Structure 1
Amino acid sequence: MKKTVAAGLLGGAAMNVAMLLTFRTLGFGWDGKGFLLTSPAQSHKLIAVWTEIEPLPLVVNTPVPIIVGMLLFGIGHAFIYRSVAPAWPSGFLARTMRLGGMTFFMTYLFWEFFTPFNQYGEPLHLIAIELVFWAVIAFAEAAAIVWVMERRSA
């Protein structure tokens, strides 16, 4: 149990760092002038949600609940990993690819399809870039979880 929670916390931390490096640093920018908000092709509706319509997303003004939420998601993913890993081929890379692929397809691909594409009308080329960001996030979290879970106890 402790190992699973530790794996989840490290996975959640990896998710937070990857999100910081992709969406915050590159996509939205520290000053709100990242290419996802300044692209002339970007949906005005998406820009308004992130910059104008109050209340702004929590991650913009009060990120602590989102950071904690990502840690909790990491713990949840670690428990899912613990339950399905015995059926998967052994090896760090094989298991990381499966866990990362599972979270990417079941969570992030669905999110991009249902919200930015469906609700905001975001252009496909920006969604494609965001999907690359989400892949980095999913596989960073997966690598951290698998690394902890597959380590042998001393």
Structure 2
Amino acid sequence: MGKLGAGLAGGLTLNVAMLLTFRLLGFGWTGGGVLLASPLQSGKFIAVWTQLEPLPKIVAAPAPMLIGLLLFGCVHAAIYDWLAPHWPTGVTARAIRFAGLNFVLAYVFFEFFAPFNLFGEPLVLVALELIFWLIVATAEAFVIASIAERARRHSVPGLQTPA
């Protein structure tokens, strides 16, 4: 399956994990999720997601965003492939490191810069979103690491596992 397979599976995992956390719990299928319905939520945040035109692409026309997440999965798999040989062996050790790296460099930065800074979202809701992002990052990292490590074992002579 290799790098491309790991990337596509990682991108699919990004889509599904975001659907289950942000869409189902955070925003709700019809807009009644905790991130929109909380009395603590910033009016600016709610307006950006529900009123200000154009609405975010993920809401109005999600296909390009879903495809983009598949591509991010491929980029993440390539980065994983580059870094993993420098980490302790094993899917769990490598997946945890990769999830932590993605979480801190992408998701914590994003939450600090956009929802907290631009939209005035309260810290308690930013913290909830960070929990969602941690789930997303961890799920993607374990999928990529599992597939990449299996491919690595099969491509290195002497490391093949019995069928």
Q: Same fold (TM over 0.5)?
A: yes
Aligned residue number for residue 68 of structure 1: 67
CA distance in 2, matches of 1:68, 1:144: 18
Aligned AA (1:121): G
Question: How far is the alpha carbon of 1:42 from its aligned partner?
Answer: 0.2
Distance 1:127 1:135 in 2: 12
User: Runs of at least 4 residues of structure 1 off by over 2 A?
Assistant: none
CA-to-aligned-CA distance 1:24-81 (integer Å, 9 cap, x gap): 0000001011110011110000000000000100111211111111100000010001
Matches within 5 A, 1:5-24: 5-24=4-23
**1:25 has 2:24 as partner:** yes
Residues 108-145 of structure 1: CA deviation (Å, up to 9, x unaligned):
00000000000011000000000000000001110110
2:100 corresponds to = 101
Larger Rg: 2
| Root-mean-square deviation (Å) | 0.9
- Once the 2 structures are TM-superposed, how far is the Cα of residue 103 of structure 1 from its aligned partner? 0.4
Count of paired positions: 153
User: How far apart are 1:146 and its partner, in Å?
Assistant: 0.3
Q: State the match for 1:58 in structure 2.
A: 57
Distance between the aligned counterparts of 2:139 and 2:14, measured in 1? Answer: 6
Alignment gaps of 5+ in structure 2: 155-162
Aligned to 2:160: none
- Give the aligned partner of residue 131 of structure 1: 130
TM-score of the aligned structures, taking structure 1 as reference length: 0.97
Paired position in structure 2 for 1:110: 109
Q: 1-side partners of 2:17 and 2:113: how far apart?
A: 22
* Alpha-carbon distance in 2 for matches of 1:134, 1:10: 18
Tell me which residue corresponds to 1:120.
Answer: 119
Matched AA of 1:81:
Y
Output the amino acid matched with 1:108: Y
User: Identity of counterpart residues, as a percentage?
Assistant: 56
Aligned to 1:35: 34
Partner AA of 2:45 in structure 1: L
Structure 1 unpaired stretches of 5+ = none
Report the TM-score, using the length of structure 2 for normalisation. 0.92
Q: How big is each residue's C-alpha offset from its partner over 1:89-123, in whole Å with a ceiling of 9 and x where there is no partner?
A: 00111000001000000000000000000001100
Partner of 2:82: 83
Give the letter for the 1:117 counterpart. Answer: F
The code of the aligned residue for 2:27 comes to F
